[in-house]
Amino acid sequence: MADAPVTFLPLGAIIQELLVGGVNIVQGFPEQSQYESHNDPFFGETIGRVANRIKGAQIDSLNGGKSYALAANNGPNNLHGGVVGWGKKIWDGPKPVGVREIPGFAGLDGGESVKFSLVSPDGDEGFPGTVQASVVYTVGKQVQEGKDVIVLGIEYEAELVGGADETVINMTNHSYFNLTGGPSIEGTVVTLATNSYLPVDDGGIPTSGAKPFATVQGGKAFTLGPVEPDIDDCFVINEAPNTVPIDTRSLPAAKLVSAHHPESKIHLEVYSTEPAFQFYTGKYISVPEVAGVPARNARSGFCVEPSRYVNACNVDEWKDQMLLKKGEKYGCRIVYRAWKE
């Protein structure tokens, strides 16, 4: 993928660059070593075993009623797989796997694909069972109204291969988008597919099923200001949690978020087969200047993290969407489309 507008790293199977009109629209660092020393915000990482938070840093009941203690790395809760989650581990790759289609995205030119693989042992960060995980990135191009559209497909797969009969999986990508390459996301115009979200307590753990989000309307554009709206919430596309399969790859990829900036004229769309997505406006970003790259501070990027429901592994009505058993495969797909007017 030497000439592709996207670059990746073995550490965390990270998306390092996504170039649109000469602008890298994802936050990151020039070298892998700088991610190792400065990437507290999870720039570009493949998140696992479980994205987002797990209440009390504990899985309450798996494998016949056993509980599993996890690292409390976000207050009392577990966040993004723990202290050394999958985004902090070295993956095997990238390995070329030929030309692939991205389901639901016709007329794709290119489709060159690479694969990263990881074996997560039984007990890794406290999680039960040995898991073989992979991510395949497919890069192609579409033409839309005479404009070249970069299409990046992401396909996740995980299989429980030993050490336990059950585990929990919830993978996503944690890229921070900035459509100008500037210091702030201010002025970015965003549309969310829905305003149904999971209300949470002070630690970010859901307190109920989906409710309407007060300050955003689904399908209606809003503009990100210098401080408001301040959002870090899980929005729900599928409000019937018991209908979500462990492998969502057979489902159509729905558009979750569209965004553009009127000054750069760069557009981004995020699609996924997942039932929910975390939308985060980057309040807690704090990264010093590194290797000539200016410091990144609050609201220097926004995240769209397609996923299962937050803390689903500890909620009986939601648990099956995250529960991986021996003989099954976890899977999901995410697609980014980006172009400049």
Q: What are the catalytic residues? A: 174
125: helix, strand or coil:
helix
What secondary structure letter does DSSP report for 252? P
The residue type at 199: P
14, 25, 3: which is closest to 339 by C-alpha? 25
User: Cα(285)–Cα(287) distance, rounded to whole angstroms?
Assistant: 6
Instruction: Look up residue 4 and give its two tokens.
Output: 């592709």
What lies within 8 Å, CB to CB, of 187 at 6+ separation is 180, 223, 224, 261, 262, 263
Task: Provide Rg for the chain, Cα atoms.
Answer: 19
Instruction: Look up residue 161 and give its two tokens.
Output: 């291969």
Strand order in the sheet with 92-99: 92-99, 109-120, 130-144, 147-162, 329-340, 266-272, 254-260, 189-192, 222-223
325: helix, strand or coil:
strand
123, 124, 126, 120: which is closest to 70 by C-alpha? 126
Burial of 206 (0-12, 13-18, 19+ CB in 10 A): buried
User: Cα(335)–Cα(242) distance, rounded to whole angstroms?
Assistant: 24
Phi, psi at 32, each rounded to 5° = -60, -35
User: Cα(335)–Cα(248) distance, rounded to whole angstroms?
Assistant: 14
What secondary structure letter does DSSP report for 77? B
